[in-house]
Amino acid sequence: MSAALSGAVDLAAVKARAESATRAPNGVTGGGSSDWVLDVTDATFQTDVVERSLQVPVVVDLWATWCGPCKQLSPVLERLAAAGGGAWVLAKIDVDANPRVAQLFGVQSIPTVVAVAGGQPVDAFSGALPEPQVRQWIDALLNALRDRMPGIGAAEEAAAARSDQPDGQVEEPPDPRFTAAEDAIERGDYAAAEAAYQQILDAEPGNAQAREALAQVRFAARAEAADPVSIGRADAAPDDLDAQLAAADAEVALDRVDQAFRRLVDTVRRTSGDERSRVREHLIELFGLFPADDPRVAAARRNLASALY
């Protein structure tokens, strides 16, 4: 799940720039959704990421407003940070508004997530992973750092103490059906996870969480086998239906979402009958990976309707 960072990164190198930049009044950073979710800028990076990472890990979410997968991943990270109770901190950085930080990490695609501890990056991944995999990555990170970062254990103990208070919020017990699916994902058994989510939907057709998770796990299984070479193969063989579907998956995995949608809409126009239905269903499944209000999805839906009718 981890991804190598582009080149050596020395986070201390930003200190001089950060200290000379204008900081927010009274050291207040952006409008994070909790004490452990911060909107970070080039100017506040030294304080909010480098210095804070000396106490607990800081998970840096590098995103942009136009990035569809970012809109899937960021809410997942925010929920997990809030649930973590301060054992780690989420730093959200808009790469368009803060290009120096993006350059510092050598960001080549977004979303990219980098874990910083002790002032240095220690792990990273790219792409919008399903929530169970993100949770597993966070857990592994905390387990690896707990012995040498006392702030993790202190935050976990404080969170446990708060939950023991009479007025403390009691966490709702996990749904065993989702737990079974998440366990299957952790084992890498996507078929079992897909079956578990489908079973939930069979019983509750309106369960949005299961529907979104099913789309994610189906794509995750295909994305593991996605090969960028398939894009060239598909371009050379426009009538090869399997090649077009594989190329669209590879393009989405590479965050070339518009190209993937355009490819499948064009394929719908060239096909009919069962082949057209297969391509349409594949495209609609890809739509499910993104928020309904994503402009790329809205445009592709209009183009699909035009191609069909």
Active site residues: 67, 70
Q: Which of 239, 225, 237, 236 is nearest to 271 (CA)?
A: 239
Q: Which of 230, 289, 85, 87 is nearest to 168 (CA)?
A: 85
**What does 71-92 look like in DSSP terms, one character per residue?**
HHHHHHHHHHHHHHTTSSEEEE
Number of H helices, E strands in the chain: 14, 5
| Cα gap 87→159, rounded to integer Å | 9
Other C-beta atoms lying within 10 Å of the C-beta of residue 38 = 24
Other C-beta atoms lying within 10 Å of the C-beta of residue 123 = 20
What is the sign, positive or negative, of the torsion defined by CA atoms of 99, 91, 253, 123?
Answer: positive
- Residue pair 295/257 in contact (Cβ under 8 Å)? The answer is no
| Cα gap 142→154, rounded to integer Å | 12
Task: Tell me whether strands 58-63 and 112-117 are parallel, antiparallel or unpaired.
Answer: antiparallel
| Cα gap 152→159, rounded to integer Å | 11
Contacting residues for 290 by C-beta, under 8 A, at least 6 apart: 68, 69, 71, 72, 257, 296, 297
Phi-psi region at 86: left, alpha or beta (left = phi > 0; alpha = psi -120 to 50): left
